[in-house]
Amino acid sequence: MNLDLLICYLQNKFHDEIFTIGLYQCLLSFLVACFVAVVSIPVVIKISELKGLMEKTGERRSHTTPTPTFGGIAIFAAVLISYFLWPSIDQTDIYRTNLSIVGMTILFFVGIKDDLVGVDPNKKIFFQVLPALILIFFGDLKVDYLYGIMGFHHVEEIFSILLTCFIFIAITNAINLIDGIDGLAGGIATIACVSFGGWFLLTNHFAMACMAFTLAGALVGFLRFNFSKTSKIFMGDTGSMILGFMLSFFAVRFVNLNISFRFDPTAFFNAPIIAIVILIIPIFDTLRVFVVRILAGRSPFSADRNHMHHILLDNGFSHITATTILCSLSVLNIILFFMLHRNITNTQSLLILCVLSALYMIASFLLKMRAVYVTTHPRRRRAALRRAFQNALEGRNKRKLIDYL
């Protein structure tokens, strides 16, 4: 009996020491990545200015002066340097995280070309699928279990591959589409990285945790300049594609690892719902914008100013205020679902998300109407609102109706 107690004590002490090492590794990776980003971004800005590699202003642009758009280079460099500084204490996911670096590198060069000269959308989709396929076939990373959502449990292999590819494409493009104002994509991604990274750390998946906190640190360093008035820089497609790919990787692995929920008290029985909630703002906004464009007879990838961050700007909010509102909504939803997830089924959670999506659509409509009100002369507001509402309701003018959603 005393021997059993001694073995149990030694095992607990060993696990505590391993956790402490993993915690320190994550914190150091976060700080080093932040430092590398802060040091390297001024160099990127200077080179961009000397070579004229600036994003010009335009009708759809939210900035008023030409701005460097290669912040993704610094984010990529910060992740590589910080992640590979330390020996991994977790061999479970080390191969998958290394494969994710391969995928990041592919998207890094595609993003550089896109920021410089543009890339055909079909080619861009292909190069988004390629890193996903590398993780699927070499890293055995698939969503093959749906936790009983709407009665679905196990997924056939071919459908799991297609579903996983869809998740990578959807999240990667969702992050790209919300990258329209200062700090929004970086802020949402930081919240997601800390959320996923915290769970990976608490469940002793240290390689995944280290990668998540490394990316969070790089983003914090980037945000210091993204919000700056004198040395501003954007992450560009290079940064947004890297972010979208890595968040997809974290989300799919999070769902995979929680399949043991019946036997592990640290796991979530509704992991897919939690993953959606952690990325709720880019998912909801992209879904709404795509639906609006398709119903209006346009390509879902056509450009417009119909994103929620554009609507908030049109209502007179500043970049930092609009970003704060959307990031706060993201944090609030994450906290509420973490508090309530054990009291509701997965199907009920999905229905709640559908209701929240409908409320998001209604809020966008009301905010668009408010934008008409605040930008119109006081004497003409009533007529302008009546005209806007009539245009939105006219069956013959479906595009106007859709645009107001």
d(CA 396, CA 400): 9
pLDDT one-digit tens code per residue, 41-51: 999 999 988 88
Between 266 and 25, the more confident residue is 25
Burial class (CB in 10 A: 0-12, 13-18, 19+), 145: middle
Any residues with CB less than 8 A from the CB of 72 and at least 6 apart, and which?
108, 111, 112, 115, 235, 236, 237, 238, 239, 240, 241, 242
SS3 content of the chain, % helix, strand, coil (to 5): 75, 5, 20
What is the average per-residue pLDDT within 7-17? 53
The fraction of the chain above a pLDDT of 90, given in percent, is 47
pLDDT one-digit tens code per residue, 349-360: 888 899 998 898
Strands (E), 25-155: 54-55, 67-68, 145-149, 152-154
Cα 114 to Cα 12, 70, 72, 219: the distances in Å are 50, 11, 12, 21
Domain boundaries, the chain: 2-268, 270-405
Confidence check: pLDDT of 380 > 70: no
What is the average per-residue pLDDT within 166-189? 93
Answer yes or no: are the C-beta atoms of 201 and 65 closer than 8 Å.
Answer: no
Phi, psi for residue 269 in degrees, rounded to 5: -80, -10
Confidence check: pLDDT of 381 > 50: yes
How many CA atoms lie less than 13 Å away from 219 in the CB half-sphere?
Answer: 26
Answer yes or no: are the C-beta atoms of 202 and 266 closer than 8 Å.
Answer: yes
pTM here? 0.88
Per-residue pLDDT band for 390 (boundaries 50, 70, 90) equals low
Any residues with CB less than 8 A from the CB of 303 and at least 6 apart, and which?
60
What is the average per-residue pLDDT within 88-107? 90
d(CA 117, CA 72): 16
Per-residue pLDDT band for 234 (boundaries 50, 70, 90) equals very high
How many CA atoms lie less than 13 Å away from 405 in the CB half-sphere?
Answer: 21
Any residues with CB less than 8 A from the CB of 300 and at least 6 apart, and which?
289, 290, 293, 294
Answer yes or no: are the C-beta atoms of 341 and 381 closer than 8 Å.
Answer: no
How many CA atoms lie less than 13 Å away from 9 in the CB half-sphere?
Answer: 6
d(CA 124, CA 114): 9
Of 272, 217, 243, 295, nearest to 107 by C-alpha is 243
Answer yes or no: are the C-beta atoms of 83 and 29 closer than 8 Å.
Answer: yes
pLDDT one-digit tens code per residue, 265-295: 777 888 899 999 999 999 999 988 888 878 7
d(CA 23, CA 198): 10
Per-residue pLDDT band for 9 (boundaries 50, 70, 90) equals very low
